[in-house]
Amino acid sequence: MVKIKLGDRAPDFTLQSSTGENISLSQFLEKKNVVLFFYPRDEGPTCCKEAETFRDNYEAFKEKNAEVIGISAQSVESHKSFANHHNLPYILLSDADNKVRKLYGVSSTLGVPGRVTFVINKEGIVKHVFVSQLHFNKHAEEALLALRG
């Protein structure tokens, strides 16, 4: 079950990125759309494929004036290694205590952290939510479709 729904204002947060800097959702508002995707863990087989799908579509996201941000509970060091290993050009944030995951209501399925993508417009309003643990390759596609519409 996801707590944040279509039309809701996306809650602001600040987390540390794979580069060690603090990143807040609010720093992008009024400038860019944000594609915020929660994924279970770095280097998981399906997580790698999902991350690479966002990477392979990164230019299309940039053309839609969207910043892509991935969030999972792994450490900053783990995210740095994951980003380097898979040539990920977008922001990865460490939510070690799952505070932001809980804030957005992204629950676990059979003990595995949930996989949810939110598309947030420049005004901070959630315009699209895609929830699918199994269709990891559709998260980037769904986000791009939402940005077109």
Active-site residue list: 47
Tens of pLDDT, residues 11-43: 999 999 999 999 999 999 999 999 999 999 999
Q: What is the DSSP string of the chain?
A: --SS-TTPBPPP-EEEETTS-EEEGGGTTTT-EEEEEE-S-TT-HHHHHHHHHHHHTHHHHHHTTEEEEEEESS-HHHHHHHHHHTT--SEEEE-TT-HHHHHTT--EETTEEP-EEEEE-TTSBEEEEEE-SS-GGGHHHHHHHHHH-
Q: What's the predicted TM-score (pTM) here?
A: 0.96
Q: Could you tell me the domains of the chain? A: 30-148 (3.40.30.10)
Q: pLDDT band at 79, cuts 50/70/90?
A: very high
